[in-house]
Amino acid sequence: MRRSPDPEQRQRDPERSKQQLLDAAVVEFGAHGFSGARVSEIAARAGVNKQLISYYFGGKEGLYRAVADRWRAGEPELTADAESLGDVVGAYAGAAIAQPDMLRMLVRQAVERIPDNQDEEGQRARFREMVEDITRRQALGELAVDLDPRHAALALFGLASAPVVFPQIARALGLDPDSEEFATEYTDQTAKLVSHLKED
C-alpha cells in the first residue's frame, strides 16, 4: 500500500519533485545498477522524502521504468535535426558523453545480467524503430547493401557508447574523454566514420 507523503511534501511542486527523483535515480542506477540502487539514497540525492518514490512511481521498479520512459520521450528531439545516418550516430555519441549515467545504467543492466522485465517491451520497441530507420536509410544508399541493419545498429550503438564505456582506452590512445573538446571532436569523427559506410 502506498503511503501518502506528509503535508510538507505535498506542498512541494509535484512535477519538480518527480524530476528531482528521476535525475537522482539516473545517477544511482548508473552507479549501482538496479539491484544495488537504494531508494533511500535516491531520495536523499533528490532532497525529498523516500515515501514519494512509492507515491509517484509505485516503488523502485516503477522509478526505473520512468527513467527509461523519460529518455525515450526525448529521443526524437535528440535526432530531429539529423540529416544522415552519421548525424544520427553522432547525436547519440554526443548524448552519451553529455549524459553518461543513463548509458552506465544500461551497461550495468547487461553486466549484472538483470532480466529486461523492468522495461522489456519499451526497450524492444525502441530498437525496432532504430532498425527500421537504418533499413530506410540503407535503401536510400546511406549504408552498404551487404550490411545487416540489425548488426549495424548494434555496432553503431557501441560506437556511440565507446567513450563512456571505455574511457581508459580513450586515455591510452592519447585522448581526454572528460574534456569539452573531446565531446565535439568525437561527435564529428563518429559522423564522418559512419558516412564511409555508404554504398559505393
**Tens digits of residue pLDDT in 14-45:** 889 999 999 999 999 999 989 899 999 999 99
Mean pLDDT of 62-89: 89
Amino acid type, 172 = A
Q: How confident is the model at residue 118 (pLDDT cuts 50, 70, 90)?
A: low
pTM: 0.82
Looking at residue 1, its pLDDT comes to 44
In which region does residue 115 sit, left (phi positive, over 0), alpha (psi from -120 to 50) or beta (all else)? beta
Query: CB burial class (10 A; 0-12, 13-18, 19+) of residue 40?
Result: exposed
The answer on pLDDT for 86 being more than 50 is yes
Mean pLDDT of 174-182: 95
The answer on pLDDT for 110 being more than 50 is yes
User: Whose CA is closest to 88, among 33, 149, 29?
Assistant: 149
The answer on pLDDT for 2 being more than 50 is no
Cα of 170 vs its chain's centroid, Å = 20
